[in-house]
């Protein structure tokens, strides 16, 4: 994980553990996705007929994996950084950059997306939205529900990372 487990506050270890377990559970959807893709390819190229429903299930499985993958990447410090010098920074400076990034870049984005995702989900649920495709999936609200869930998880991961960085700066006097 992003910092050594022993030096992380208990609160962070609990949050990270929850996100990690959820990410591991969601990762099994990749196996389901592979089966769906294989079935769709066989139907299309062997039998000359694909199914719209399988096409949409593929996109839904991708979306769920991505939504939960964001928080999992933060917890494991495996997200992409725009800061090209980050690897060369001493640990204290890295933590300061992390605090700045979480507070002024990541958290505002999470808040904006959460504020807009709830009405998006609500309207879909209220209208009982379904796919525009003739044989597409019903219950479009189900997949739209993963948008706020995914960003809540990302917010929890960001809070954990922020607390870890602050704890490091306060506790480690280098």
Q: What is the pLDDT of residues 18-30, one digit of tens each?
A: 999 999 999 999 9
Domain layout of the chain by residue ranges: 5-171
Q: How much is the pTM?
A: 0.88
> Quick one: residue 90, left, alpha or beta (phi over 0 = left, psi -120 to 50 = alpha)?
beta
pLDDT in tens, 39-68: 999 999 999 998 999 999 999 999 999 999
Q: Are 49 and 130 in contact (CB under 8 A)?
A: no
pLDDT tens for each residue of 64-108: 999 999 999 999 988 877 667 778 889 999 999 999 999 999 999
Residues 88 and 2: their CA atoms lie apart, in Å, by: 16
pLDDT at 2 over 60: no
Closest among 95, 112, 110, 114 to 162, alpha carbons compared = 95
């Amino acid at each position: 994980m992003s910092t050594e487990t022993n030096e992380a506050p208990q609160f962070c270890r609990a949050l990270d553990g929850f996100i990690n377990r959820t990410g591991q559970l969601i990762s099994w959807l990749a196996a389901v996705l592979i089966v769906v893709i294989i079935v769709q390819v066989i139907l299309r190229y062997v039998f000359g007929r694909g199914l719209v429903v399988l096409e949409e299930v593929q996109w839904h499985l991708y979306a769920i994996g991505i939504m939960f993958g964001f928080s999992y990447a933060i917890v494991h410090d495996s997200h992409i950084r725009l800061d090209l010098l980050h690897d060369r920074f001493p640990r204290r400076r890295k933590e300061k950059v992390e605090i700045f990034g979480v507070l002024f870049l990541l958290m505002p984005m999470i808040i904006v997306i959460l504020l807009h995702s709830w009405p998006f989900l609500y309207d879909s649920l209220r209208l009982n939205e379904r796919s525009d495709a003739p044989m597409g999936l019903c219950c479009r609200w189900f997949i739209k529900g993963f948008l706020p869930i995914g960003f809540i998880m990302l917010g929890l991961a960001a809070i954990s990372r922020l607390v870890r960085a602050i704890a490091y700066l306060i506790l480690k006097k280098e």
